[in-house]
Amino acid sequence: MTFHFGYFRGATGFRWRDIHTLCLQSCLARASPDTIVVHYDMPGEGEDWDQAIELSGIEWRLVTPPTEINGFHVRDQRIWCDVYFVFLKSFEELRHNVAVIGTQCSQRKKLACGLMGSVPGSSFISAYKDAYKQWTPKDEKTFWTYANCVPWDLSFKHPVTVLKRTAFYPVTWSNKTFWNGKTMPMDGSYAVHLWETLYPDATVPLLMNTCLGDKILSIVDPKPIVNALGGVTVSFD
């Protein structure tokens, strides 16, 4: 089970921040990966980047991302899973699926492409990539609306498991109270997407003030489990 992340700076200068390092830390600690690969086009800089590349168990793969797909200019070069998630539990039980994607909004018929999984050669993924030739909207909002409606249509034509919104997107796009500490049910969530477009300056300290605070603390500052038995203290590191 390999997790692929994309970090492509290009001409935008997309800066690696502490919240992206947390994404990798949480994946290592909670998602049960066999391998984690970060595809990037140029190194980042600063303390947050240095901390990320020092994490063990991650392959950093320097690549040249495509500028065109099907002869059309690439609007967004993130692949498979962006670095704006906090992982909460193992993905092991999802491995039997040919392909998997999460719901963003069932009423608006949107399946978000921020996190997808599949076996090699998935027809759903191939069809989604082929559909890129139709992605021509000029403004960003219309572009992403279309990009997330395409997989909804394809899900009726190709083998793919569509998970409920709470699986990857328990915090909805329109939710404003999460960042103010409102408690939200996340027992069924594998990961939480944080909508970087809406909150581009979010940091780990800010995230610690949300209902994810305790979960994040257990990831970035894990404590040994201590059990006292008949006067004997056993510590499992």
Low-confidence ranges of the chain (pLDDT < 50): 78-80, 225-231, 233-237
Terminus-to-terminus CA distance in the chain, angstroms? 25
CATH of the domain at 85: 3.90.550
Computed from CA positions of residues 207, 53, 41, 15, in that sequence, does the dihedral angle turn out positive or negative?
positive
Residue 170 burial by Cβ neighbours in a 10 Å radius (0-12, 13-18, 19+): buried
SS3 36: strand
Q: pTM score, two decimals? A: 0.86
- What kind and span of H or E run contains 68? strand 68-69
Containing structural domain, residue 211? 2-236
**Strand-pair category, 161-163 with 99-105:** parallel
Residue 167: predicted pLDDT: 96
| pLDDT given at position 231 | 46
Q: How many domains does the chain have?
A: 1
For 30, 83, 86, 208, 220, the CA distances from 216, given in Å and listed in that order, are: 11, 15, 8, 7, 6
Q: Taking the CB of residue 83, how many other CB atoms lie within 10 A of it?
A: 21
pLDDT for position 141 = 62
